[in-house]
Amino acid sequence: MSSITIDASCHYAQNHEWIRIEGDVAVVGISDYAQDQLGDIVYVELPQVGDQLAQGDSFGVVESVKAASDCYLPVSGKIIAVNDQLESEPELVNSDPFGEGWFVRLQTSDPAQLESLMDAPAYATFCEQDN
C-alpha cells in the first residue's frame, strides 16, 4: 500500500475516481490505486464534449485485458474537454494517473457536491480498508 500515491489536491469517490478543481473547471481521472488494481490499461472510452451529465452517471469505461470498469462522474457538469491522447497512449493512465492520464474536464454545476466526496486522508483510509 505504501507504494500507492494519493494526490493531496484531489477529492475522491468510492469507485476510485479523483476530481481536482482548477478555478471553475474540474478535472477527473482514476486514482493510482485504481490503475494498480486494473493492471495494464488498454483502452479508455470517453464521452463526447458537450455531454451534460449528473453526479453518479457513467461517463466512460476503462479497459484492461481482462476487465472493463465503468467510471462514474463524481459531480454533475458539462464535459468541456476529453483527453484525446489516451486513444493512442492508454498506458498514461498507469504511468501518470493524476497528471497526463486525466480523463475529462468539466464545467461543474453544483460545487457543493464536492462535500459528498472524500478528501485525500479519508481516501487513504478508505483504500486501507478496501485492502
Partner 1 sequence: MTYIPHTPEQLAQMLKTVGVDSTDRLFDVIPQEHRFPDLDLPPALSEPELADVFRQLSEQNDDLDHATSFLGAGAYHHYIPSIVGHVVSRSELYTAYTPYQPEVSQGTLQAIFEYQSMICALTGMDACNASHYDGATALAESIITTIAAGRGRRRQVVMAPSVHPQYRQVCASYTSGMDVDIATAGNPRATPETLLSMVDNQTACLIVQSPDYFGRIHDLAPVASALHDMGALLVVVTHPISLGLLKPPGGQGADIVVGDGQPLGNPLAFGGPHLGFFGCTKSLVRRMSGRLVGETVDDGGNRGYVLTLSTREQHIRRGKASSNICTNQGLNALAAAVYLSVMGKQGLAQVARLCYHKAHHAATLINRVAGFSAEMDHPFFNEFTVECPCDATDLCARIYDQAGIVAGYPLKPDFPDLANQLLVCVTEVNSSEQIAALAGALAEATA
Partner 2 sequence: MIEPIIYELGRPGRTGIDLPACDVPESPLPRELLRDDLDLPEVSQLDVMRHYVRLSQMNYGVDVGMYPLGSCTMKYNPKINEDIARLPGFGSTHPLQPEATVQGNLQLLFEMQQALAELSGFDAVSLQPAAGAHGELAGVLMIRAYHASRGDTQRQVMLIPDSAHGTNPASTTMAGFRPIELPSDPRGNVDLTELAKHLNDDLAGMMLTNPNTLGLFDEQITQISNMVHAAGGLMYGDGANFNAMMGIAKPADLGFDVMHFNLHKTFATPHGGGGPGSGPVGATVTLAPFLPGPIAQRIDEADDPADTHRHGYHLQMPSRSIGRLKAFHGNYGVIVRAYAYIRSLGAAGLRQASEMAVLNANYVQTKLQDVLPLPYDRTCAHECVLQGIVDGADSIHALDISKRLIDHGFHPPTNYFPLIVPEALMIEPTETESLETLDSYCSAVRRIAKEAIDSPELLHNAPSSAPVGRLDEVRAARQLRLRWLPASKSNADDR
Q: Residues interacting with partner 1, by CB under 8 A?
A: 42-43, 45, 48, 63-68, 70
| Exposed / middle / buried, residue 99 (Cβ in 10 Å: 0-12, 13-18, 19+) | exposed
Taking a C-beta distance cutoff of 8 angstroms, is the pair 6, 32 a contact?
Answer: yes
Does 40 participate in binding partner 2 (rule CB under 8 A)? yes
Q: Minimal CA–CA distance to 62: which of 93, 100, 85, 83?
A: 93
Nearest distance from C-beta of residue 65 to partner 1, angstroms: 7
Q: Which does 40 bind (CB under 5 to 8 A by kind): partner 1, partner 2, none?
A: partner 2
Can residue 131 be called a binding residue for partner 2 (CB under 8 A)? no
CB of residue 94 vs partner 2: minimum separation in angstroms?
10
Residue found under cell 485492502: 131
Rounded-to-integer distance, Cα 82 and Cα 94, Å:
17
Is the CB of 70 or the CB of 130 nearer to partner 1? 70
Among 36, 45, 51, 63, binds partner 2 (CB under 8 A): 63
87 in contact with partner 2 (CB under 8 A): yes
Q: Are 65 and 42 in contact (CB under 8 A)?
A: yes
